Amino acid sequence: MVETGVDADGSVTGPHRVDTSHPGLVDGLADLWGRVTAAGGAVGFSPTDPVDRLRAAAAALVEDVRAEKAHLITIGQQHVLVGLAVLRQRQLPVRTHTGELAWLAVDPALQRKGWGKRLLDAVLVQAQAIGLEKLDLVTRSGHDLERFYEAHGWVERGRWPGAVRVAAGDDRDEIWFTRDV
């Protein structure tokens, strides 16, 4: 990963909605996921995943944003991407009133300063703007994320014990949350 020198005390701009791709967006996303994963964060990757795997996921996300299949909301610090949220409207005709919070992450240097809450608030605004009525997300146990989501109006609907294998011998529960918009 490139050393970005994110400043814990530096100013942050956003949340912004990203409608068009720009040079550096794929690398910015992959680098952010890399920093969050290296710090132990639950963004779906393993610390041993090669950079190419993160870049491929970032390129796929950027393609979905271009195709309006995903809504990307970011925060930045002097051209460095330091937080993101991704909302996807469900595509099946019987599900188009629902959406999924597909990603949420804040740079490790900037966590616990309220940026996660601001990103969640921006997701709700975007969900309202596109007419969604209900949202869901899946996360994993072991990070105290249940407390974070419950504090922001999400309700746990169930969990699947051992569905997430963080490492050999370290299985976590997958947890399903929903909330009304």
Q: How far, in whole angstroms, is CA 9 from its chain's centroid?
A: 22
Report, in Å, the least distance between residue 162 CB and ligand COA: 18
Count CB neighbours of 103 within 10 A: 23
What is the nearest approach in angstroms of ligand COA to the Cβ of residue 94? Answer: 25
9 makes contact with ligand COA (CB under 6 A): no
Q: Which stretch binds ligand COA (CB under 6 A): 1-9, 17-25, 102-110, 161-169?
A: 102-110
Nearest to 161 by CA among 141, 144, 178, 137: 141
Contact flags string 23-62 toward ligand COA, x per CB under 6 A: -------------x----xxx-------------------
Residue of 9, 112, 167, 168 that binds ligand COA (CB under 6 A): 112
Rounded-to-integer distance, Cα 6 and Cα 107, Å: 8
127 binds ligand COA, rule: CB under 6 A = no
Write down the least CB distance from residue 140 to ligand COA, Å: 7
25 vs 105, beta carbon nearer ligand COA: 105
Cβ contacts of residue 83 below 8 Å, gap of 6+? 12, 14, 15, 32, 74, 75, 105, 106, 107, 110, 115, 116, 119
Residue ranges binding ligand COA (CB under 6 A): 36, 41-43, 104-106, 111-117, 139, 143-145, 147-148
